[in-house]
Amino acid sequence: MKLYTATGMFQLSNPLDKLLLGILSEISSYDNYLRAERARLGKLNRLRDGYWIGGPTPYGYKIEDRKLVPNPTEAKWVRFIFEEYVKGRSVQTIRASLIKAGALPRHGNRIWSTGSIELLLRNTHFVGYYKIRDKKSGQEFRIECDPIISRALHDRYLKSKQRRSVRRVVESNLTQFYLLRDFLVCAHCGSFFSGRLYPKQYRAVYYCPRRERLRDDPYSKHLKRCEQSAYLRIEETDDLVWNTVVDVLSKSHRYKEEIKLLTLDARGPQRDRKQEVAMLTKRMKAIDAERRRVETMRGAVEAGTLIAPDNQNRFQGVIQTLQKEVDDLQGKRVEMVKRIKDLETATRWTDWMAEFGTKITELRQLTGEKRKDFLKGVVDTVRVTKTVPDQVQLEILFEQPYVEDRLVKSSDPGDPRKYKIEDGKSSICIPLVIGPPRTKGCSVAN
């Protein structure tokens, strides 16, 4: 049998021709492998450089110079969705708001769906990165892109999402206002407390919903049960927690100092923080550019070792040095991101102080939603632990160490301030009597 190819004719019955054909076939296979490997490495290098490699862009972005950049028209709705979610709005409520505002989704859909909003919230592009996994090596690459929302807003979203994951009451089903619904946490099972009214019995209580929800459910035996039976009278619990928070702040030197600084210069510190954020952002971009250059060099060296395996040992030291440089640059970037997050948190704190940094006597006059907004700035959670059959312990966890902080004499002779504030504790425990419901007008012995 004869085989005619571009390089000539081969007699397959001839052992020498069969040998040559086999060699040429292996060379061709190896050449194909090298082409595929160069294409794969080239794709990875483009990814490291931040280039978009194809496919539809995420909502909120467009392509410029082969890179993802925010689309101003869509980016404002991305920020709107995250901000509304952090405020406690349900996905259904956000969807209705988008439809009313005339915001259009992608792919020709006329209206938003709840699924598309939930997918958008899970997307990491908006905070400045996304991840790609190389199928062959299994290596995962983190690709940087221009963020649409701040890291601080994304962290608040994650915190809000975590809270919702342990509380299943839908916002649209709420018909009553509960001051501490987003703060009271069962110390036994970790669930957030819900509120319930008993109109015929003239009482209203906070309670752990997990105990009732899982008590008689045969399909949830694998879930953790709550053995803590505690029903807190809403009016008494609200008054006790609110008055305790105000009392702690009225004695806190740190809180008074924060109000004092805000009063002396309401705009200066915030302006300085914004300038520092701008400077750090600029430096971070320079670090990203340098890191991409180093990663490109590392990729080129790795490609060289794949093409010429004999040089692998010689290039291994170079690869390790370049990888160390990448790790060092990444470490610097992480520190800058943390600093920017701290500055943005401080800016939010200044905005909150501008609204609520008033005299303690004025704080006591706040009611309803204003009280709840104030608590969101100073209180993280309130843990509920049943200690005896007719009493629970409320542990109020503050965002700052306000509890029993002290004003002490400064030991630094060069410090122009004669006194400094010594941090106190971040929590305080108070007892609350529960017991059977009593008639209207009875008080609680704390």
CA pair distance 88, 90, nearest whole angstrom = 6
Helix %, strand %, coil % for the chain, to 5? 55, 15, 30
Residue labelled with tokens 């160069």: 38
pLDDT at 385: 92
Distances from the Cα of 189 to the Cα of 152, 210, 387, angstroms: 28, 8, 15
pLDDT at 403: 92
CA pair distance 286, 333, nearest whole angstrom = 10
Burial class (CB within 10 angstroms; exposed 0-12, middle 13-18, buried 19+) of 46:
middle
CA pair distance 197, 205, nearest whole angstrom = 7
Per the confidence metrics, is the pTM higher than 0.85? no
pLDDT at 16: 73
pLDDT at 267: 46
Residues in the chain: 446
pLDDT digits (tens, 9 = 90+) for 245-285: 999 988 888 887 776 665 544 444 555 666 777 787 888 88
pLDDT at 396: 94
Name residues whose C-beta falls within 8 Å of residue 45's C-beta, 6 or more positions apart in sequence. Answer: 295, 296, 299, 300
Q: 257 is written with which tokens?
A: 């100092």
pLDDT at 281: 81
pLDDT at 238: 92
In this structure, are residues 206 and 182 in contact, taking their beta carbons and an 8 Å threshold? no
pLDDT at 165: 62
pLDDT at 81: 92
Q: Going residue by residue through the chain, which has 446 residues, state the pLDDT in tens, using 9 for 90 and above.
A: 666 666 667 666 677 767 776 777 788 787 887 888 777 777 777 777 777 877 788 888 988 888 888 998 899 999 999 998 888 788 888 888 887 787 888 765 567 888 888 889 988 888 888 887 777 777 777 778 888 988 888 888 888 887 766 554 444 445 678 889 889 988 888 888 888 887 776 778 898 887 776 665 555 555 666 777 888 999 999 999 999 999 998 888 888 777 666 554 444 455 566 677 778 788 888 887 777 777 777 666 666 655 555 555 655 666 677 677 777 777 777 777 777 776 666 665 555 555 545 556 677 778 888 888 888 888 888 999 998 888 899 999 998 889 998 888 777 666 656 677 888 898 999 999 885 544 443 333 33
The closest of 177, 181, 203, 197 to 441, measured between CA atoms, is 203
Coil/strand/helix, residue 125: helix
CA pair distance 97, 6, nearest whole angstrom = 67
